Homo-oligomer: A and B are copies of this chain.
């Protein structure tokens, strides 16, 4: 058996007034959460902040100190409210200027006379950052320190995430098993489930009620990084549910 992989963590920082006003419904948090789970990164925190420099700087600095990676989305377009690149430069205490490579990339799409000041704004990259290209637009994101700066438009964000995926350090992949508790109410299995969880610190066990068509449906999720431990946890949860169902319909 190979040595256990270390834990890799991440935070997502969503930047944009439009999410906080409700105008735009975020689709990136869930996508990045799935991505992290799939590659073995523990997404540990998410923040959404407005297009205000101090808020962005403070959040970036708080998060990059705590987690292996910080993924930001939003605020890298050409308009006055796109202040992410400048805020990231400020957070890192580095200069920012027009990046010649980005200008070249943009010239593959725009005529030189159409490359006005606003569009050139998208070529402003903090010094020391690596570009993160995408398939959709000629304006890149960038990667500086442990912070990966991406667009807010989901299709572009997803393409940027693809571009960095191979370069991220990843940990042991989380194995996730879902057990359907059927019509059994949470309140009946909560005590037994709590005992299983307490006895297995190596697992994360959760109970998730959902309410659809006037009925509650409960699912129990067992997560862990070691297949044997997860299988053992699942067996114990299934035995618990079986014993409770047997209680309900005594023969």
- Measured CB to CB, the residues of A under 8 A from B are 14, 17-26, 29-31, 33-37, 42-51, 55, 77-81, 110, 114, 116-119, 121-122, 136, 153, 155-156, 174, 176, 186-191, 193-194, 197-198, 204-211, 221, 223
Contacts and interface: CB of A to CB of B under 8 A. Distances in A.
Contacts of A47: 45-48
Nearest to A21: B37
A19 B33 contact: yes
A211 to B, nearest CB: 5
Nearest to A20: B43
25 contacts: A14-B46, A19-B29, A20-B42, A21-B37, A21-B174, A21-B176, A22-B31, A22-B34, A24-B208, A45-B49, A47-B47, A77-B190, A77-B209, A78-B190, A79-B190, A80-B190, A80-B193, A80-B198, A114-B187, A116-B191, A117-B190, A118-B189, A119-B190, A136-B211, A153-B211
Contacts of A34: 22
The 10 A-B residue pairs with the shortest CB-CB distance, nearest first, are A118-B190, A22-B33, A80-B194, A22-B34, A46-B48, A119-B187, A79-B207, A25-B30, A78-B190, A79-B190
Given A21-B37, A116-B188, A81 B197 contact: yes
B211 A79 contact: no
A127 B150 CA distance: 44
Contacts of A223: 17, 21
Most buried by B among A55, A77, A80: A80
A20 B46 contact: yes
Given A22-B34, A121-B190, A211-B155, A17 B206 contact: yes
A140 to B, nearest CB: 15
A48 to B, nearest CB: 4
